[in-house]
């Protein structure tokens, strides 16, 4: 079994290569990281094209949701994007914060940081910054951000519990996050679960949905809400690299599911504290009434 650092190195190497590609090449693979499928499958990403603040050059097709759509960002907010890539969600967030706010993107791949900075300079955004660093050890002081977002990134980090603890540390009291990520219901086949390529491709690094939400609740967050959920289907020509025909058929008819979820939660404190929502009360179709997804 690979160590945490070895897995991080796999992801860093893959995403350095992805930084050199465009959206079309990345959308033709599993979260941008595996060899292209024989058909162009955009199997995880949501469409940003109608989102205000969207910058085409910053969209590498690597996400699995639209966390900024649900993040309740206000003018003047300080926002952090975890795993900021080429800057797509940062630029959408900047549209919401306005020039009076601040947006910080954190990514551990130097090539992504450089690409994001180039995009920000082209746009003339002086209040958007990109820092190189691990999101399980953020280069940010305590109580810094009003809002945190992330798009298909925590599943790539071996120690997800540590990342969630870092989110709690860095958010201001009363601050909140909206995170899109990949989770599982049931166990993946061993070949998928242990393969490094599929780890970098967002699937093998995913954990059980209940475990993921449990980490958030146990960390002390309040108003934990599942804002959106959608199933992810891996194309046959990707699956057949890891499974026999009979294993593929068994996998497809089994109870195992791969899902993209968007989760919202608040750090205790602040003047607008809301009642805590227990995970036992959540259902898969729970949705923020103000988000427009209902």
- Distance from chain centroid for Cα 192: 20
In this predicted structure, what is the pLDDT of residue 293? 39
In this predicted structure, what is the pLDDT of residue 144? 98
Per-residue pLDDT in tens (0 to 9) along the chain, 294 residues: 567 776 776 677 776 777 776 554 544 444 444 444 333 234 556 666 677 877 777 777 777 889 999 999 999 999 999 999 889 999 999 999 999 999 999 999 999 999 999 999 999 999 999 999 999 999 999 999 999 999 988 988 889 999 999 999 999 999 999 999 989 888 877 777 766 455 445 566 788 999 999 999 999 999 999 999 988 877 787 788 888 898 888 888 877 888 889 999 999 997 644 444 444 333 334 444 333 333
Which residue segment(s) compose the domain that 108 sits in?
Answer: 4-280
Give the number of other CB atoms < 10 A from CB of residue 50.
6
Classify residue 293: in a domain, yes or no. Answer: no
In this predicted structure, what is the pLDDT of residue 42? 46
Classify residue 31: in a domain, yes or no. Answer: yes
In this predicted structure, what is the pLDDT of residue 102? 98
In this predicted structure, what is the pLDDT of residue 242? 80
Total domains present in the chain: 1
In this predicted structure, what is the pLDDT of residue 232? 80
Classify residue 285: in a domain, yes or no. Answer: no
| Rounded Cα gap, residues 35 and 24, in angstroms | 13
Give the number of other CB atoms < 10 A from CB of residue 1.
5
Query: CATH no. for residue 218?
Result: 3.40.50.150
Classify residue 140: in a domain, yes or no. Answer: yes
Alpha helices, H only, the chain: 4-18, 23-27, 67-70, 88-97, 110-123, 160-170, 190-194, 196-200, 209-219, 236-239, 245-253
Classify residue 291: in a domain, yes or no. Answer: no
Q: What is the pTM of this model?
A: 0.80
In this predicted structure, what is the pLDDT of residue 248? 86
Retrieve residue 46's tokens. 């949501």
Classify residue 288: in a domain, yes or no. Answer: no
Please, which residues have CB within 8 angstroms of residue 153's CB and are 6 or more apart in sequence? Answer: 82, 83, 135, 181
Contact predicate 52/91, CB 8 Å: no
Grouping H, G, I as helix, E, B as strand and the rest as coil, residue 227 is: strand
Classify residue 287: in a domain, yes or no. Answer: no
Strands 145-151 and 128-132: what pairing?
A: unpaired
Give the number of other CB atoms < 10 A from CB of residue 233.
12
């Amino acid at each position: 079994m690979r160590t945490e650092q070895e897995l991080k190195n796999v992801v860093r190497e893959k995403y350095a290569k992805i930084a050199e590609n465009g959206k079309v090449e990345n959308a033709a693979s599993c979260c941008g990281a595996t060899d292209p499928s024989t058909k162009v499958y955009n199997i995880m990403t949501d469409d940003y094209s109608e989102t205000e603040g969207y910058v085409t050059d910053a969209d590498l097709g690597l996400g699995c949701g639209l966390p900024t759509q649900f993040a309740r960002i206000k003018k003047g907010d300080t926002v952090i994007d975890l795993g900021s890539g080429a800057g797509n969600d940062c630029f959408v967030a900047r549209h919401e914060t306005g020039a009076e706010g601040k947006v910080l993107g954190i990514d551990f791949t130097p090539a992504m940081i450089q690409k994001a900075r180039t995009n920000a300079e082209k746009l003339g955004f002086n209040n958007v910054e990109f820092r190189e660093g691990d999101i399980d050890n953020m280069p940010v002081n305590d109580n810094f951000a009003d809002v945190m977002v992330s798009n298909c990134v925590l599943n790539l980090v071996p120690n997800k519990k540590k990342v969630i603890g870092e989110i709690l540390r860095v958010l201001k009291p009363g601050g909140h996050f909206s995170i899109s990520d990949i989770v599982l219901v049931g166990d993946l086949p061993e070949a998928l679960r242990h393969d490094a390529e599929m780890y970098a491709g967002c699937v093998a690094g995913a954990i059980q949905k209940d475990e993921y939400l449990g980490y958030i609740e146990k960390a002390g967050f309040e108003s934990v809400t599942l804002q959106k959920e959608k199933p992810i289907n891996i194309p046959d020509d990707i699956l057949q690299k890891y499974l026999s025909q009979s294993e593929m058929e068994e996998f497809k008819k089994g109870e195992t599911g791969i899902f993209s979820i968007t989760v919202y939660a608040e750090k205790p404190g602040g003047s607008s504290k809301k009642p805590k929502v227990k995970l036992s009360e959540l259902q898969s179709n729970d949705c923020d009434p103000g988000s427009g997804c209902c």
